[in-house]
Amino acid sequence: MENQESVAVVAGGTRGIGRACALALARRGDKVVIAARTQENLENIVRRIQEEGGRAHAIRADLSLPSDVMALFRDIDERFGGVRWLVNCAAALGPLKPLIGVDPEEWNQTMAINLTGTYLCCRYAAPGMIRRGGGSIVNVTSGLALRVLSPFGVYSVSKAGVNILTRYLAEELGPSGIRVNAISPGVVDTSMQEEIRTKDPLEIGEEVHRRFVNLKESGQLRPPDDVAQLVLFLTSAESNHLNGQIGRLSDYVAMGWQAPPEIPLH
């Protein structure tokens, strides 16, 4: 077993916000374990971190499957003695259609990735954190957890579940020294945003499609690195006073995060 002071797991750490978080944590000096389904993407991010002089380890896992997540954290426990930081970034957009038109299998698949996967990672990371004397979990949620924007119903419901999951885990794990908070990152320049823009306007509605295209064309999309900077704060002693919080970047400034001046807080 390797004895590393700070082991960070980034679930869904090969793209978008997850990739930015993995790079930022490695640059801080943490050993970063990246979990995702696609081996090629895992190898690419590990290579990038190692080229920068960081420490990274990839574990291929389907984060929606209990057996895979259990094996993931068993491997981490055996290799590194448990995890200190967990960042849950894995997410799927899911079907874009009115809820009564969603096939149950589509519903189950989206919930399995976005909500159950987040729960499973928290569930199996917690024992190692407790052995290490505590830790921090950061869940990535969405503003759509708090609003209605058809046809994003399944995604919205899954992220609303992440919000209440965050609050329950904060309450239950807090006495063991584990803090659980969530970030609502706003509109971020990720592959999910690109996926929405490439949809047929007739499929998701012309007005909704136009809104997402305009976000890109008008430069309103936030770079994933902005969110990663907040993750660094939430996985540090500077945020020891925070537990059970769910907020935007600007909300966390009000809670003590000193955001770099180049990060817009709209």
The helix/strand/coil state of 11 is strand
Name 72's Cβ contacts closer than 8 Å, sequence gap at least 6.
9, 35, 59, 61, 63, 124
Radius of gyration of the chain (CA): 18
Burial readout 163-176 (b: 16 or more C-beta within 10 A, e: otherwise): bebbbebbeebeee
Alpha helices (H) in the chain, listed in sequence order: 16-28, 39-51, 66-80, 104-111, 117-131, 153-173, 191-197, 201-204, 206-217, 224-234, 249-254
Give the length of the chain: 266
CA distance 189 to 112: 24
**Strands 55-60, 246-247: parallel, antiparallel or unpaired by DSSP?**
unpaired
Distance of CA 183 to the CA centre of its chain: 8
Q: What is the enclosing helix (H) or strand (E) of 88?
A: strand 85-88
Tokens of 264: 């817009």
Point out the residues that are catalytic.
155
Name 67's Cβ contacts closer than 8 Å, sequence gap at least 6.
none
